[in-house]
Amino acid sequence: MTTAPTWDDLLTTALLGTDRRSLPVDPAGREAPAALLDAAAVAAVQRRAGLRPGPAGTRPDPAPADTRPALPPAAAHRLTLLLADRPGGGGGRRGSTPDLTELLPQWLASANAHGYAAPPHVVPALLDAARARTDLRPAALEFAGARALWLARLNPDWRFAQRSASGGTSALPGAEDDEGIRRLWQEGLFAERVALLTALRARNPASARELLAQTWAQERAEDRLMFLDSLRAGLSADDEPFLEQALGDRSRNVRATAAELLSTLPGSALAARMAQRAATCVALDHTGSTAAIVVEAPAACDPEMERDGVTARPPAGRGERSWWLGQLVESAPLDTWPDRLGGRTPEQIVALPVTDDWQGELHAAWCRAAVRQRDARWARALLGSPSAPEAGGPGAVSLADRAKLLAALGRDERAAWVAGFIAGHGLSEAFQLLGVCALPWTAPLGRAVVDALDIAREAGSYPWSFSGVMGLAERCLDPAETARLDSLLAVPDEREDASPGAGGYWAEAFQRLATTLRLRAAMVRELDPYGPEGAQPEVAG
């Protein structure tokens, strides 16, 4: 009886070739390769037939029901298109085709604002998109809801959803479930505990603080820092005792964060201590012909200052005394200075000369204080006029500083300042400033951006230098401004000193902007088909 060849014999013959190794079977008059394949087919069936079935796994519990309203059909179709789009590889010319991947964040934000539930069949694609783009995760997981967490437990590629604090909020215990809250806080994953603390803080700040106090001493330093940061939401004088206790924490970072939070409470004891220290360093000098500010920086950093969050050791290249002074001034309530400096307004104070080259250090510290305390009066004074040379306010030493100061202003005032900056200085330095403006941009700001882009086009340069601003405009310009772009869609006559083909590239860029704005308008109507926008005719996308 002929012994059947083993699978390894057949595999070895296939790898080496029938011309180099004899067949382990009788070819029975057939070509050797065909005989080998036939023998392999028979062996494969025998191998599979000989497998014993393994034990059946436990069937998972059904996914939790999502009781939120379903998406309108047109919006569901739009979501499918957005999720199916993939960004093109490489750089270079984009043409006039909108980048649908950049519309997905806005679509998700709008859908979440309406409270819609994700269609079950798109949840895997949502998780894949969120896996690839961390900026999408909070909105995507909120929209996907509890089904995302259910699926994440079945696929290791989506485990980020279980680690995400925002993704776990749908499974949090209710406000009245004291036992569920206690158990999740004691036994939950770190992300789940952060999510619980954040959610509890939003609805009952005192309960969140008390929950944190129960286990504070047992938490790791890095976890204490994250938990402490969650107290920013709803921060009030009631949090002061807990934060004062945290000033004695063994972790320097925790102490610094506690001190920062306390300094944003103007009535806190720490704010009063910082005000007293800072006031001894800054005063009016009446010895000259005009009033001026005189500065005497601290001579030492004592233990009490360190406990209140002052870092003793300065970074490389920074003097100790100026480093300590800056920390004291930025932590002192800004209301300290009008009384200290002759009853002057913030505008009058920042206009005063500062002796001995201390102006930059003092104004920079006031900038940080204005940002920390969200003080619009001081932010306005430190920003100065947007049309000033180099748009440099007294304390705005960089675009990053100006952007932070702008965040302390209201939506319309912020947009008006940036519009003035663009009108006076163009778009070359406006990118960071535009990024802090509320969405959609106000009409004056939108006009300023479009006008500046038109000026850049008329100058004959290529549009690629303004690709960042153009990308912002696609996401932030109000779709109502679309009509203003009509005159910019044609290819202009090329000037002699213009870059070759620049006019055509600009026409493509403006066409892409206009098409993107129409798509955004269509998305709004699709998500709210019965709202004010719903009565408008459909815009082709």
- Give the pLDDT confidence of 24-64 residue by residue, as tens digits: 887 777 888 888 888 888 888 887 777 677 787 788 888 88
Vertex 234 angle, CA 233 and 240, to 5°? 105
Higher pLDDT, residue 378 or 172: 378
pLDDT band at residue 496 under the 50/70/90 scheme:
low
Q: Which of 346, 311, 337 lies closest to 325, judged by CA?
A: 311
Asked if 82 and 110 count as a contact pair (C-beta separation under 8 A), the reply is no
Q: Say if strands 282-285 and 292-295 run parallel, antiparallel, or are unpaired.
A: antiparallel
Residue 98 reports pLDDT greater than 80: yes
- Give the pLDDT confidence of 246-291 residue by residue, as tens digits: 999 999 899 999 999 999 998 999 999 999 999 999 999 878 788 9
- Give the pLDDT confidence of 307-334 residue by residue, as tens digits: 999 999 999 999 999 999 999 999 999 9
pLDDT band at residue 497 under the 50/70/90 scheme:
low
Q: How far is CA 39 from CA 5, 21, 260, 268, in A?
A: 8, 15, 77, 86
Cis-peptide, bond into residue 53, ω within 30° of zero: no
Q: Which of 260, 353, 364 lies closest to 322, judged by CA?
A: 364
* Pairwise CA distance, residues 292 & 11, whole Å: 92
pLDDT band at residue 393 under the 50/70/90 scheme:
low
The radius of gyration of the chain from alpha carbons, rounded to an integer in Å, stands at 32
Give residues with Cβ within 8 angstroms of 164, minimum separation 6.
137, 138, 141, 191
Q: What would the two tokens of residue 493 be?
A: 């006559």
CB count in 10 Å sphere of residue 329: 27
* Pairwise CA distance, residues 59 & 38, whole Å: 39
pTM recorded for the entire structure: 0.75
pLDDT band at residue 145 under the 50/70/90 scheme:
very high
pLDDT recorded at residue 541: 30
Beta strands in 83-225 (DSSP E): none
* Pairwise CA distance, residues 341 & 335, whole Å: 11
Q: What residues form DSSP beta bridges with 70?
A: 117
Q: How far is CA 495 from CA 461, 464, 488, 500, 501, in A?
A: 11, 18, 16, 9, 10
- Phi, psi (rounded to 5 degrees) for 282: -130, 130
Q: What is the mean pLDDT of residues 104-132?
A: 94
Q: Which of 16, 15, 10 lies closest to 38, judged by CA?
A: 10
pLDDT recorded at residue 171: 57
